[in-house]
Structure 1
């Protein structure tokens, strides 16, 4: 129990540390096996990491950032990938040829990693409590009861709502952000010397992201833990990094202190990377009206409610309900983008899945004037041709056994829209539109980076020329330069085809860029909605103001105050059977700007 970082310990003074580097990577070179021989994918990477330092690896998808982390952790997929040259020295000990049995002892206790995709790093058949306790008991001489108590404290540290209940749940029962918090809790369990964070806040909303960054900073203050942060969010880089390594095509193109990098980047590539960063407040006057938008309504949602029953007791009866979405009404016109923002678990993704008829719901949903509730399977297929979804987790939504080209072609085959050479040409065009080479069509999902997998999912969603796309965090896994390209692609398609988007995102700067209107969700209900410029420029609800205050600013000279939240802010959407939450009352403040008023 003593090795668990409690909330009270986080504020302790920093002990003096020796100036020697804790980690040295020297001329690290990695090759992967291909049909034509070995291919170098990481070429001569060198850097040092000091205790209590945050070193950020930045660069485009496929630049070798995650590969570097996997090499340090000893998790390269052998024999497909191997280190051909170089050293990885942890306190002077070379890890390159370390046997797996010894490497196992280092993981979690000396070096821990937060992975990019939480669903693939959690065991689907073990409860959350079991998975956290397993790590603790594997590396510490503690009892099952002590491990369970420590697991509960870790979930509280990462600000998990209803932590006692989450311990008994399974990964599929949690939202993407909640799963990521579990992964972070597991990584922090044994207080490692080095924490490798591979896109640790990608799936998190801005408020939880602010809390996690604060938590990592306080962990360093207490223990001198060194952090290697892999992220495409330059706001996170500016806020937390001491030094930055910019990578491209497996090589380091620039290394410098964070302030110098933002003030005076020394390479054209770094300047291009920084220019692509969306900055909150710069697009409020740039996108007031969308020329593609029309008055024709393609999506109508009236009094939508989605509840998940919680059974228990002797007869397994419904005792409680999770009110994931409660009495939500919204509409989207042709060629318009409506953004849904809010914290993880606020109901954003649930609304998107309800539009796709992927879960039962109450209320009314109309796509192109046609009600979707109660349709036969055949009728529903015709509706789904008009509305497609880009899911939050690209790896979980792709079949690992099929080449990605076949997966993009599959919707066209199911709906009998193309075959033969016409099908091949259509798929090739889709791959080119999302910035992937044609030879990628023959590869499988595991052969791509996280950002590349998301581009494949976007290509698949576009295959049927839908009228509405539900984009659930569709650019959250992409680095800033590719993100800018994909957003530009979505804009072009909207202008060409009059596409409508339900854009679900936690990135407020991206929401500002792409959306015409914004709806803010809190605990399953809309608390504010209206034109993007109005809601983000003059937020009327305290919750919206809190979201905006937590947005990381891509400026290392900007000091964001610590983000603190009281227990009252962690509102549960779990109610006993027969009880419902109070319905939010929205008042129009002018210009179609609706804000919830306090009850009573």
Structure 2
């Protein structure tokens, strides 16, 4: 019988708290065989990521420690291994893809420098060969314009692009074990499917074992061989993936699977009364200069968003869909004045074009944003309670005991307890950090919320709770949402209307059911064909391919041809 490549026995992890040591992982045991994919699933804070950090020797000291148990990588015992010993095996024998790419990449180093550093540290190739090997790794993870990406810094890439760089670094040394902590959270569905195919190909070619940590049960169904479900640091069920989905034994597993959104299962959205227009966007364009040459002149421009127009009424949710880098998040940032833009944007009837910081301040009471990366959008040096209360202080809405009461109320509204307010962001899981961001966005009672992948970091049960919360807020206050997401099943649950974007332009728009259940543009059909389905017995349909995506970069004075949208049904328009 084949020996396991990774064997975990009775692993326990404790965290220091003011009240004493708290056990966050209690007696976990499992074996990972060569070429196998084992999935750890469970709610946010259940101990999934803590297991990965314990295996990698990355538990934050002195706050966390392994209280007992054994972790063996082949013949090597990892518990108690020195830092020098871990440096030899990390990336070379066991590699990890982290959940939040922005906080995992060095902001001061280019992509090429970070890839080259990994290759040279482990002697994969010579210094002369490293640039070519780095370029090939970016091609392997389907990163667009890989030659240009090598010279860029992490902040110049979209969330999905950064995650692909992280995956390229993890795969650089062909490790025996790949620990993937939410590896596709930041990726759109088509790239997610390609990355999962890439991981499967790596397993097939090299016998790599994968420990997959995810809250996406569709990814679990399509990728995993076995599943271990955790709750409060303890195993509640372990089974082959088909057995788990067909007949979950524990009540918790049944609840978890019941909360999974399934594309095509959302009930019809009731007709809403037509509210007043709260956000009106006309011919919005965002372009970024590309400089180069001896005099650092503008050589080209990135046409990130090109002549996009839409409006949102009170109580309505407009969903923006498209692949990573299509301009979805850039539109959100433009509406908040975070990037330069051209066109016309009106919030609650106020034109914001040309307003400076002082003029934008009252506008931002009406429009708030929940960002994609929950770790990078919180200040590591402030308590989370202070960060949720800060907008109320800045706008002079509350102070003293009233400020504290309002902050506590916001924490409870997003499913967090008030005693968490004195903690810092690093003390929370990724899902908990995103709930803190949502609480902060709600603090000013805005009329419009731009939700940029606002639930992508949440496990399915918490995701369902947060979506219910957002729906409740919308029903009570007439809140309008611009909902940016790559999760088509979530979009089906929340959207009234859907806009599909490609290379900065809209290719299809219309009512939710018209776009998702009767897609007319080939690109929309491609997105829908790549959606993972939480059914391990289902054979994935052949992926619809489209012509090469192309590039949004054009020489100065040139630009893409403007797409004309033809109305094919009431409110349903498609690019010809």
TM bracket (short chain) = over 0.9
- Is 2:387 the partner of 1:407? yes
Aligned partner of 2:5 among 17, 22, 45: 22
Residue by residue, what CA displacement relative to the aligned partner does 1:59-112 show, whole Å, maximum 9, x if unpaired? 000000000000111111111111111000111321101111011110111100
Match of residue 329 from structure 1: 309
Aligned to 1:15: none
Contact kept, 8 Å, 1:41 with 1:250, in 2: the verdict is: yes
Q: What's the offset of the Cα at 1:420?
A: 1.3
1:565/1:152 Cα in 2 relative to 1: closer, same or farther (>3 Å)?
farther
Find out whether 1:592 has 2:576 as its counterpart: no
Aligned residue in 2 for 1:579: 558
Q: SS state of the match for residue 459, structure 1?
A: helix
- Matched with 1:9 is none
Distance change in 2, residues 1:233/1:373 (3 Å): same
Question: What is the deviation of 1:375?
Answer: 1.3
Give the Cα separation in 2 of the matches to 1:98 and 1:143.
Answer: 29
Asked if the contact 1:450–1:478 (Cα under 8 Å) also holds between the matched residues in 2, the reply is yes
Please list, as runs of the form range in 1=range in 2, the aligned pairs for 1:344-363 lying within 5 A after superposition: 344-363=324-343
Cα separation, 1, equivalents of 2:268 and 2:403 = 38
Counterparts in 2 of 1:546 and 1:536: CA distance versus 1, 3 Å: same
Aligned to 1:122: 105
1:500, 1:564 → 2: CA distance? 33
The CA distance in 2 between the partners of 1:564 and 1:93, in whole Å, is: 45
- Residue aligning to 2:300: 320
2:431 aligned with 1:477, yes or no? no
Secondary structure of the residue that 1:453 maps to in structure 2? helix
Could you say what secondary structure the match of 1:145 adopts? coil
The question of whether the paired residues in 2 share the 8 Å contact of 1:434 and 1:458 is answered with: yes
Is residue 529–residue 544 contact of structure 2 (8 Å, CA) maintained in 1?
no
The equivalent of 1:63 in structure 2 is 46
Deviations 1:24-70 (CA, angstroms, capped at 9, x unpaired): 10000011111222111100000000000000000000000000000
- Which residue of the partner structure matches residue 43 of structure 1? 26
Which of 152, 160, 173 is the aligned partner of 1:169? 152
Task: Tell me the equivalent position of 1:286.
Answer: 268
| Paired residues for 1:120-269 under 5 Å | 120-140=103-123, 142-269=125-252
C-alpha separation between the residues in 2 aligned to 1:595 and 1:286? 22
Q: How far does residue 296 in structure 1 lie from its aligned partner after superposition?
A: 1.1
Distance 1:288 1:139 in 2: 58
Please identify, of 461-470 and 574-583, the stretch whose mean Cα deviation from structure 2 is larger.
Answer: 574-583
Classify 1:513/1:60 alpha carbon distance in 2 versus 1 (closer, same or farther; 3 Å): same
User: Alpha carbons of 1:141 and 1:222: their partners in 2 closer, same or farther (altered >3 Å)?
Assistant: closer
Deviation by residue 1:356-403 (Cα, 9 ceiling, x = unmatched): 111110110111111111113222100010000000001111010001
Measured in 2, the distance between the counterparts of 1:65 and 1:144 equals 37
How many angstroms apart in 2 are the aligned matches of 1:168 and 1:144? Answer: 17
8 Å CA contact 2:237, 2:250 repeated in 1: yes
SS in 2 for 1:51: coil
Give the match for residue 90 of structure 2.
107
TM-score, normalised on structure 1?
A: 0.95
**Runs of 5+ consecutive residues of structure 1 not aligned to the other structure:** 1-17
Alignment partner, residue 300 of structure 1:
280
Measure the CA separation in 1 of the matches of 2:61 and 2:359.
48
Partner SS, residue 450 of structure 2? strand
Whether the 8 Å CA contact 1:214–1:563 is kept in 2: the answer is no
**Distance between the aligned counterparts of 2:32 and 2:419, measured in 1?**
38
Rounded Cα–Cα distance in structure 1 between residues aligned with 2:359 and 2:3: 67
Q: RMSD across aligned C-alpha pairs, in angstroms?
A: 1.1
Q: 2:65 aligns with which of 59, 66, 82?
A: 82
Following TM superposition, by how much is the alpha carbon of 1:145 offset from its aligned partner in structure 2, in angstroms?
2.8
**CA distance in structure 2 between the aligned counterparts of 1:202 and 1:259, rounded to whole angstroms:** 23
Q: How far apart are 1:133 and its partner, in Å?
A: 1.0
Runs (4+) of structure 1 exceeding 3 A deviation are: 561-566
Residue in 2 aligned with 1:490?
470
Provide the rounded CA distance (Å) in 1 between the counterparts of 2:169 and 2:561.
36
Equivalent in the alignment of 1:270: 253
Q: Relative to structure 2, which stretch is displaced further, 487-496 or 132-141?
A: 132-141
Q: In the aligned structure 2, how far is the partner of 1:124 from the partner of 1:189?
A: 20
- Paired residues in the alignment total 576
Gaps of 5+ in 2: none
- Asked if 2 retains the 8 angstrom alpha-carbon contact of 1:394 and 1:454, the reply is yes
**TM norm structure 2:** 0.99
Contact 1:214/1:562, CA 8 A, preserved across alignment: no
Cα displacement (A) at 1:221 = 0.7
Contact 2:141 2:195 in 1 (8 A): yes
Report the counterpart of residue 420 of structure 1 in structure 2. Answer: 400
> CA contact under 8 A between 1:409 and 1:423: conserved in structure 2?
yes
Q: Which moved more, 1:162-171 or 1:370-379?
A: 370-379
